[in-house]
């Protein structure tokens, strides 16, 4: 038992010694995980006190079924599924050499679908005949952004922490000059509602920014 405690103490002291030895050498690399509009990991390289380069992968698979939504006065049940995955190449600029910085770059979206399926919440009764929402049909809206999008944001916290571990917050947005590509499909008795696709596309075309938010936890080495 005493021998084990002794070994543990030796190990801890050895680690502190390694850390102290590393502090003497500037840390240039960091990896981090991020949680926000997706789960992400990134690798950052400190070019100098003002510039950092970052490669990032972020993904947001999400599915929720059966929540209520009202559209055009209709009570609908909505099944929503997001599937965002993107690989980003970013440059961070810290104008004061401190934690605040601007982030610029581009993201390549390997997947950027938002599928929303809506069905009527209530049954329809004609005389004494009851039609279920399945009988009536459903609407399927798909939203997709272009593959390669420019990105800009601001960040608090160094991409490569000085002291091994660090936290940060990043806010930004990807920009799609054409807006997202929207499609509307319908089936059953509401099949012809798909003729509203043009209106949908038109209505969303100004929706050119795709937001990005992440809390980062980084480890430098």
Partner 1 sequence: MKTIKYIIITLLLVGQVGCIDKKFEDQFKVTIDTDLFNQIAVIQVFDPSGQSNLEGDTALSVEVLGDDKDKVVTDAGENISKLKIIDGVVNLVVNPNKNIENNPVEVLLKISGDNYLTTTVPVTIGIDERTEVSAYVVNKTSPVDGIEREEKTASIKNGVSEEQIVIETEIVNQTKNKAKVSIDVGTQFQDINGNLIEGDEVELEVTNFSPTNIDALTSFPGGFSPQSVTLDGGEVVNDVAFVTAGFVSVDMEVGGVEVKNFSKAITITMSVDTGSMNPDTGELVKLGDVIPIWSYSKDNGQWDYHGDSEVVMIDGKLQVEYTTTHLSWYNMDFYGRRCSRYSWWGDSSNGTPVTLQLSLPGVSSSDSRRLLSTFVYEGTSQEVSYNATKTQYWYDGQTFELNNTPAGRNLQLVVYSGDSRYNRGEEIFRSPAFDGCAGGQVNIDASSMVSKLPPAPIRIHVKYSGECNDRIIRPSTHLYMFNETYNYWQYKGYIYRGEITLHDMELNKPYSFRVYYNGRRHEHTITFDKTEYIDDNYNIPDELCNQL
Distance CA 169, CA 6 (A): 41
Taking CB under 8 A as the rule, does residue 121 contact partner 1?
A: no
For position 130 contacting partner 1 by CB under 8 A, the verdict is yes
Find the binder of partner 1 among 71, 93, 104, 154 (CB under 8 A). 71
Residue count at the site for partner 1 (CB under 8 A)?
46
Report the C-alpha gap between 172 and 117 in whole angstroms.
28
Other Cβ atoms closer than 10 A to 196: 14
Q: Which of 9, 62, 134, 221 binds partner 1 (CB under 8 A)?
A: 62
Q: Could you tell me which of 30, 59, 50 has the C-alpha nearest to residue 212?
A: 59
Which residue in the set 27, 36, 51, 83 belongs to the binding site for partner 1 (CB under 8 A)? Answer: 36
Record the tokens describing residue 158, joined without a space. 């160094």
> Is residue 41 close enough to count as binding partner 1 by CB under 8 A?
no
Q: Are 85 and 125 in contact (CB under 8 A)?
A: no
**Burial, 5: exposed, middle or buried (Cβ in 10 Å; 0-12, 13-18, 19+)?**
exposed
Residue choice 3, 13, 73, 96 for contact with partner 1 (CB under 8 A): 73
**Residue 178 in the binding site for partner 1 (CB under 8 A):** no
Residues contributing to the site for partner 1 (CB under 8 A): 35-38, 60, 62, 64, 71-74, 82, 114, 124-131, 135-136, 139, 143, 173, 180, 186, 189-193, 195-196, 199-200, 202-204, 206-207, 209-211, 213
């Amino acid at each position: 038992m005493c021998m084990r405690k002794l070994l543990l103490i030796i190990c801890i002291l050895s680690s502190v010694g390694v850390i102290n030895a590393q502090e003497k050498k500037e840390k240039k690399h960091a990896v981090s995980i991020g949680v926000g509009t997706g789960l992400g990991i990134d690798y950052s390289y400190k070019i100098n006190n003002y510039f950092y380069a970052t490669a990032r992968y972020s993904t947001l698979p999400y599915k929720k079924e059966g929540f209520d939504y009202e559209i055009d006065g209709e009570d609908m049940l909505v099944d929503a599924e997001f599937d965002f995955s993107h690989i980003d190449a970013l440059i961070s600029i810290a104008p004061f050499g401190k934690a605040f910085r601007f982030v610029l770059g581009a993201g390549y979206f390997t997947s950027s679908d938002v599928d929303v399926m809506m069905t009527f919440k209530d049954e329809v009764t004609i005389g004494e005949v009851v039609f279920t929402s399945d009988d009536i049909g459903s609407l399927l809206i798909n939203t997709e952004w272009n593959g390669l999008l420019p990105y800009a944001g601001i960040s608090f916290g160094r991409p490569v922490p000085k002291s091994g571990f660090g936290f940060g917050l990043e806010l930004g947005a990807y920009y799609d000059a054409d807006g997202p590509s929207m499609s509307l499909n319908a089936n059953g008795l509401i099949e012809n509602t798909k003729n509203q696709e043009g209106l949908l596309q038109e209505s969303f075309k100004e929706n050119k920014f795709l937001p990005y938010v992440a809390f980062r936890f980084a480890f430098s080495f």
